[in-house]
Each structure stands twice: as structure tokens, then as C-alpha cells.
Amino acid sequence: MDQSFRDSVATIDNKGGRNYIFPKKPKGNLYNKRTFASILYLIIFFGLPFIKIHGEPMFMINVLKRKFILFGQIFGPQDFFIFALGMLTFMVFIILFTVVFGRVFCGWACPQTIFMEMVFRKIEYWIEGDYTKQRQLKEMPWNGFKIRKRVLKIVVFYLISFIIANFFMAYLISMDEVLRYIREGISSHFGTFLTLIGFSTVFFFVFYWFREQVCIVVCPYGRLQGVLLDKNSIVVAYDYVRGEPRGKIKKDVTEIQGDCIECAACVRVCPTGIDIRNGTQLECVNCTACIDACDEIMVSVKRPTGLIRFASENNVAKGEKPKFNARIIAYSFVLLALISALGFMLASRDDVDVTLLRTAGTVYQTLPDGRIANIYNAKLANKTHEDIPLTLKLENIEGELEVVGKVIIVEKEGYKNATFIVKVAQKEIKQRKTPIRISVYQENVKIRTLSTTFMGPVE
Ligand code: SF4
Ligand code: SF4
């Protein structure tokens, strides 16, 4: 089979310039389902920043303040291991999902595709018309009609990009903050406003001009397909066994012909400009527009639908049903182990994190009453939405623990540095470094015990 189509991408011409794709407006069963899924997706995307738990956003990824809220649970830098394990689990899940279901995520759940195909592309069809009208508009010389269309498109695209940027910002700093900035005006938050304009411009550039190239040349996930997919992976596939030899329907032709009537309807609707009949390609985002287009043709020529469908290479070539192979089983075990470890870490996660350190530069002091004193520093992080009063107690040695300022109150979602002194009678000290244990109590409930050492002179 001629593989020369793999030497170039449809969006770049021979001189390296931008080859603009004008896909035909898709329609059909899968497109309707995709529209429905996208509406749900958009409701969730625009609705989530408004949902609060205990007065805090349900989701927030504040990179600058290093504060992350997922499903109302607060995570901070001290949760790095959970974050790293979560990322690893997510990556293995993506790999497993891709091995089994190919790139279906790209067409049905990726924000880039959802916004491009279900928001911006629909608006483009509304402003400029279907693909033939869009091509005519591009090729016609500049005149009042073309300027009006282009200006309208730029204004609408930028406005929507600006709205998306505001919501994107809400995921970073919370919707309350965004609304506060809006109330207080641009002059009070000029730096943030410039950031917002920056985000809006990037989104505008992506959806107005760069488009499908995000999936083809930028997205690392797309480029991984070559190593993730195998002959059992379910992808959008052309059934060449049934379709070939392809040929246009002609009267009085008796030679045996495949089901593909070479109408190119599947090529016309493709948003990445490829011909799926060439086989699985990096550019295919599994949007399923070609399935709808081909099914419509098959119905019109009274042949069975599914010439292009979700299928594996083995399904097309040998009629095999999808099956679990060693790779899928191995990935599943790794994923299960990671999910278990992550679940355990999340379940055993404390509301308060405590780190204990001896105060830098101090060893011990002999007090006027003869007791020996050591000074310690405790770093406390409160991961809840309420202030937490804490008390510290010495566990394994007779002595006194004196907190500077008596009670330690760690403010909600806050951090606190507390200094305390441990005083022990000389007779209790049997070695230069005596192991001691200090417990942290929240309303008389022990929440953590920490080990450290007590320095003192040995008699
Ligand atoms: S080949 Fe089909 S599924 Fe793949 S991107 Fe093109 S239209 Fe979408
Ligand atoms: S839409 Fe179907 S029949 Fe038409 S060219 Fe594509 S595969 Fe062949």
C-alpha cells in the first residue's frame, strides 16, 4: 500500500505554510451523541467554579499559592507524594485506556476538541456557512462582505476566548476572587487583567488559527499513539476487507467491487484533513465524523452501515472480537496496585500535618531549678476548612512541655510555626541524646505522635 501520505500532514503545505482545513458540517447519530456529551461537559466546566464546599471552591488549582482543592479536600506542598502517585495513576490509566479504546478521549472528552468542534466550529458555520462557503470567503478578494464576516468572527471568537479565560482563571484562584477583581475594577488589578488578556489571546489564537495543529503537532498524547496502540486497540477504522476494491458506482459494471463508492464524504468531514481509508493515523482524533458521513452514504446506496466504525485491526482483518492480551492484563495489575496505594494514602491522610525540628543553633540549657531544657520548633499545616486548636504532650518521659503562647491554634487552610520548650529533670537523662515522643492532641484526641531526641549532660 502506498504510504506516502505519512510523509506530510494535511495542515502544512509543501512550502511549510498553513493549509487551512474546511471540514464539511458533520451530522448523524454519533454527532448528535457527541453534541449531547459536549453540552454536559460544558455545563460541568462552567458550573464547577460556582460549587462550594464549606465556603471554599470544590475545585481549585492555585499554583502560585501552592494550594489545591479537589472535591473539597485541601492539598498543599506537604501532599507531594499523594500528588505524584495521583499523576502516576492517571498516566497508567490513560495508557490502559488508550491501549483498549484508542484515542476516543481526544474526540469526546478533550477540552481542545470540545471547544474547537462543538463551540467555535459551530459558530463558524453560523457566521460563514458550510465548508464550500467558507472556502469561497477565504478565496474572494477583500470587500465589505468579507470584512464584515471576518470582523464578526474575530469579535465573537475573542469574546468567547475571554469568557473561557475568566473561567480558567476561576479554576486557578477561585470564582470568588475573579468576581471580586471584576467588582473592584481593572485599575486595582491591572497585572491580573493583563494575565487574563494573555490567556484570552492564547485561546483566541488556538481556536481561530492554530486549531487541529494542537492535536497533530503539539499534544504529546497524540504523538504517543504509535507506541500505545496495537492490533487489538479499538479505533475509528475503515473496513478495507469490505470496502476494497473501492470504486464509483457505474451502471452495467459487473466486476466485483467493494462497498466503498469513493464518494470522499469521509474525507470532507474530517477536521484534521485526513483520509481514514489510508489506515490509523496520528492525525485522527477519533471524532467519529467520518463514521456518520459514511453511514449516511451506505444507507443511501442500500449497503450495510459500519464500513467505517469503531473496530480493531484484528476485528477488521480477521473478524476477531476485542480480547484481553498480556499487555492489557499487566497494565491493569499496575493500575490496580496504584489505585490501592493512592486510596490508602488518601484514606489515612491526616487533617493536620506536623513536622518537628530542634531550634537551629541550640543544644540544651540548664535552668535555675536544675532541670535541663531543649527548644523545638513545630511546623503545622491545617488542611481543613476550620481553625484547629492543638495541644502537645510529652509521652515517654517525666517532664514539662511548655508552649510559647500556651494553645496552638492553626487557622483553617493555614500554616503555623510553634515554638515550645521541653524541661526534664537531670535524673531522667541517662544518655546525651534521649529519645522522646511528643503527641499532638486535637480536643483530647491524639492525632499524631512524633519522635525526636532530647539533648542533655550525662552525670
Ligand atoms: S478520520 Fe474520522 S474520526 Fe479521525 S479525525 Fe477524521 S473524521 Fe474524525
Ligand atoms: S464515505 Fe464511505 S463510501 Fe464514501 S469514500 Fe468514505 S469510506 Fe468510501
Residue nearest to atom 6 of ligand 2 (CA): 266
pLDDT digits 0-9 by tens, 43-102: 999 999 999 888 888 888 888 877 788 887 788 777 888 888 888 998 888 888 888 888
Sort strands 52-53 and 235-238 into parallel, antiparallel or unpaired.
unpaired
Least confident of 6-20, 368-382, 429-443: 6-20
- Separation between Cα atoms, residue 214 and residue 157, nearest integer Å: 17
* Buried residues in 326-343 as b, exposed as e (16+ CB within 10 A): eebeebeeebeebeeebe
Q: For the chain, report the end-to-end CA distance as a whole number of angstroms.
A: 90
Residues having CB closer than 6 A to ligand 1 are 236, 269-272, 274, 276, 284-290
Q: Whose Cα sits closest to atom 7 in ligand 2?
A: 260
In the structure, what pLDDT confidence band is assigned to residue 281 with cuts at 50, 70 and 90? Answer: confident
- 344 pLDDT exceeds 80? yes
pLDDT of residue 411: 86
Q: Whose CA is nearest to atom 4 of ligand 1?
A: 284
Backbone φ/ψ region at 359: left (φ over 0), alpha (ψ -120 to 50), beta: beta
What is the mean predicted confidence (pLDDT) over 272-280? 91
Predicted confidence (pLDDT) per residue in 195-250, tens digit: 999 999 999 999 999 999 999 889 888 888 778 888 888 899 999 999 988 888 77
Task: Answer yes or no: pTM beyond 0.85.
Answer: no
Question: What is the distance in A from the centroid of ligand 1 to the CA of 379?
Answer: 54
Kindly list the protein residues whose Cβ atom lies closer than 6 A to any atom of ligand 2.
238, 243, 260-266, 277, 293-294, 297, 307-308
In this prediction, residue 180 carries a pLDDT of 94
**Residue 391: pLDDT band with limits 50, 70, 90:** confident
Residue 150 grid coordinates: 471576518
Q: What are phi and psi of 12, to 5 degrees?
A: -125, 130
Kindly state the average pLDDT of the residues 376-405.
Answer: 86
Helix (H, G, I), strand (E, B) or coil at 337: helix
Cα separation, 376 vs 248, whole angstroms = 85
What does DSSP say about strands 308-311 and 67-70: parallel, antiparallel, or unpaired? unpaired
Distance 6 CA to ligand 1 centre (A): 15
Of 9, 22, 276, best ligand 1 pocket probe by most atoms within 8 Å of the beta carbon: 276
Pocket test for ligand 2, best of 241, 244, 260 (most atoms within 8 A of CB): 260
pLDDT band at 288 (very low <50, low <70, confident <90, very high): very high
**Residue 165 C-alpha to ligand 1 middle, in angstroms?**
28
